[in-house]
């Protein structure tokens, strides 16, 4: 580094590099942000109807996707109706999907939504930012015969 940058620039460059790496790492969403995103999604669905809302939720760069936080909407049968991180999942029935520990988290989500209007759920899933399987918590709200969820990685 010393052969490319004079001494007076080295300290500033190190600070810029450190700030960039911290801001890239510190980008995980929080529980309050997940709850707010789900509530925003539910309100959007109610105001705009399912066709427009599901298209918006699934659209790349949507207002319902922020860093590692995105919305997913399931039917009560486990079918994906909208997916903010992977449009290829829309239309698939994931009721039997299990996480790395064998937890049937979509079935659990559907069963819980039948009993509670809103809840948090823990499971493991691939983080779209890191591409690694990580512990995840999803906040979900039941809306008619659907479940709107947004999750955070721990």
Range of the domain at 145: 28-153
Domain count for the chain: 1
Which three-class secondary structure state does DSSP give residue 129? coil
Does the residue 142 lie in any domain? yes
CA-derived radius of gyration, the chain:
19
pLDDT tens, 27-73?
A: 789 999 999 999 999 999 999 999 999 999 999 999 999 999 999 99
pLDDT tens, 70-90?
A: 999 999 999 999 999 999 999
Does the residue 36 lie in any domain? yes
pLDDT above 90 (res 8): no
Does the residue 6 lie in any domain? no
- Residue where the block lists tokens 């980008």: 27
Domain CATH code at residue 49: 3.30.450.20
Does the residue 14 lie in any domain? no
Does the residue 62 lie in any domain? yes
The CA distances from residue 83 to 8, 16, 65, 98, in Å, are 49, 35, 10, 17
Does the residue 144 lie in any domain? yes
DSSP E strand boundaries for the chain: 65-66, 69-75, 80-83, 118-126, 133-143, 146-153
* Cβ-contact 67, 129 below 8 angstroms: yes
pTM over 0.85: no
pLDDT greater at residue 38 or residue 23: 38
């Amino acid at each position: 580094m010393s052969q490319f940058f004079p001494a007076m620039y080295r300290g500033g460059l190190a600070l810029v590099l450190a700030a960039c790496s911290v801001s890239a790492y510190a980008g995980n969403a929080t529980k309050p942000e997940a709850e707010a995103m789900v509530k925003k999604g539910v309100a959007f669905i109610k105001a705009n109807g399912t066709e427009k809302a599901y298209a918006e939720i699934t659209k790349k760069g949507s207002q319902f996707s922020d860093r590692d936080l995105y919305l997913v909407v399931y039917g009560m049968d486990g079918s994906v109706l909208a997916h903010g991180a992977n449009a290829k999942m829309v239309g698939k029935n994931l009721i039997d999907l299990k996480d790395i520990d064998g937890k049937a988290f979509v079935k659990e989500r559907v069963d819980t939504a039948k009993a509670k209007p809103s809840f948090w759920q823990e499971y493991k899933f691939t983080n779209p930012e890191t591409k690694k399987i990580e512990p995840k918590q999803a906040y979900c709200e039941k809306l008619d015969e659907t479940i709107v969820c947004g999750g955070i990685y721990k």
